[in-house]
Amino acid sequence: MRSLFRRRPGAVPALLLCVVAGLAQAASIANPWNGLPLWWLQLLSLGGLVWLLERADTPRQAALRGWLFASAWLTGTFWWLFISMHTYGGLPAPLTVLAVGGLAMALALIYALACGVFKALAPVHPALRAIVFASSWMLAELARGQWFTGFPWGAGGYAQLDGLALFARYVGVYGVGWIAALVAACVVLRQWLPLLAVGLLAGAALAVRLPPSDPAAVLPVTLLQGNIPQDEKFEMGAGVPVALNWYGEQLAQARTPLVVAPETAIPMLPQQLPAGYWPGLLQRFASGGQTALVGVPLGNARDGYLNAVVGLQPGSPKPYEYAKHHLVPFGEFIPPLFKWFTEMMKIPLGDFNRGAVGQPSLAVAGQRLAPNICYEDLFGEELGARFIDPAQAPTIFVNVSNIGWFGNSLAIDQHLSISRMRTLEFERPMLRATNTGATAIIDYRGQVTQALPRLTRDVLVGEVEGRGLNAASGWRITPYAWWVARGGLWPLWGLGLLVWLLAWRTRR
């Protein structure tokens, strides 16, 4: 039996196994039947990759296997880009397939490099090889998440929400991915001492006692989900009047201290709205005790445009504004040399200005609300910039999104998992108001407490408990929030590169 396990697979079966393992990794991020992550499947898929890399004859062969694994994984993770580019963007189907596949295969080159370096540097001792593999994998994840504006969607750590994510408050999603890769490699290489260490650390993490609930920090909220069809959303004769009427009515009728409308809920610039519409909204929230956060584009042709959230509340000389910082390539800004590509797609407002990192929070009923727009909650290191001063750190995150671009796909489930991971990293709740889903309230432990059915026009009225307002507990923030606010992701880069350096010196 042992000899069968050690037998090297032939070239063709090995390549097919790489693809199968990669697709398993994609399914572990959000499985196709209910959209939930599967932590054990992610470990199994990474273990399969380690087994295949161990049986590669050369670093070049290991790189090829890593590239096939990552190409299958990434394609299976964000295949839904096809919907936005073809169905709503009007890009011809063959060109869309090439674009989505080309993006996945280009990003997979990073993982190919990581696997090749792992094979070249792998020490003789199996436990050290496991550490080198985990560090190589983390460096690849970091590179994908930061190079060329970054696109870390579907990072392996998100599959661990119900598994190893108990470490998120210490090391963030990339650190969770490192631990998962280490566990998978140790199982394959049959190294039990590192697994015992991970188990002991997990026990210590579970023993940490969080501050008790504070009834005074509970904030009633209203979240709006308009479910405006994406192919009608910016059409003056279709989705625009529907959005203006429905959101206008719900904003007028809301009774909670906070009401939130999703990204571009108002799909026109304020100066382009029907006469009296925008002044009416300003007047509605100019008195009383209510605050509204509304997604609306801002700007003009001379100064440029912003994808923004506007806060309307009494006592403010002018509305609060949050401008999206992390823009979507091709959807919100045009990369150099790609204007021809964006012109082939019928996506409106395709070139925005960037907002700053660490913009001020919005004070509501004693809470500090930190908005983020669309996939900005994918970049925990940028959200962490607001925690440099714990006494002014956010107590509640608010994400406003429009995932209608991707239809009724796993993108909705994956985005919900991303928000859940941020709540675990920072131990702050997240409110999500979206056009088509998932509109939800997530508590500071990463649990969805209330949610609306996707693809419905509905209103969610609920409560959220802000965290971090108790001065007696030292304005509590997580270890991850502390170090990422000061060093970004450089501590993880340093750890991975140090392991590479030590492995190189050991090989010499």
Catalytic machinery residues: 263, 324, 374
Amino acid, res. 368: R
412: its two tokens: 């909705």
Say if strands 448-451 and 458-465 run parallel, antiparallel, or are unpaired: unpaired
Taking a C-beta distance cutoff of 8 angstroms, is the pair 166, 206 a contact? yes
| DSSP structure string for 152-212 | -TT-GGGGGTTTGGGGHHHHHHHHHHHHHHHHHHHHHHT-HHHHHHHHHHHHHHHTPPPPP
What does the alpha-carbon distance between residue 45 and residue 16 come to, in Å, rounded to a whole number?
13
Name which of 179, 180, 226 is nearest 39 in CA terms: 180
How many Å apart are CA 246 and CA 224, to the nearest integer? 10
Kindly state the tokens that stand for 103.
């993006």
Distance CA 432, CA 260 (A): 9
Q: Which two three-digit tokens encode residue 256?
A: 């909670």
Q: Return d(Cα 459, Cα 439) in angstroms, integer.
A: 9
Q: Angle at Cα 411 formed by Cα 408 and Cα 412, nearest 5°?
A: 65
Separation of alpha carbons 432 and 98, rounded Å: 33
Amino acid sitting at position 215:
P
Report the alpha-carbon angle 343-348-353, nearest 5.
95
Distance, in Å, from the CA atom of 410 to the CA atom of 406, rounded to the nearest integer, reads 9
What are the distances in angstroms from CA 154 to CA 265, 283, 364?
Answer: 27, 42, 33
35: closest CA among 410, 405, 447?
410
Q: What angle do CA 349, 282, 224 make, to 5 degrees?
A: 65
Q: How far is CA 283 from the centre of its chain?
A: 35
* Residues 6+ away with beta carbon under 8 Å from 501: none
Residue with structure tokens 């990474």? 46
- CA–CA separation, 295 vs 272, rounded Å? 15
Cβ–Cβ under 8 Å, residues 12 and 59: no
Residue with tokens 């590479």: 500
Alpha carbons 412 and 29: distance in angstroms, whole number: 12
Token output for 35:
């959209």
- Residues with Cβ < 8 Å from 88, sequence gap 6 or more? 230, 231, 346, 347, 405
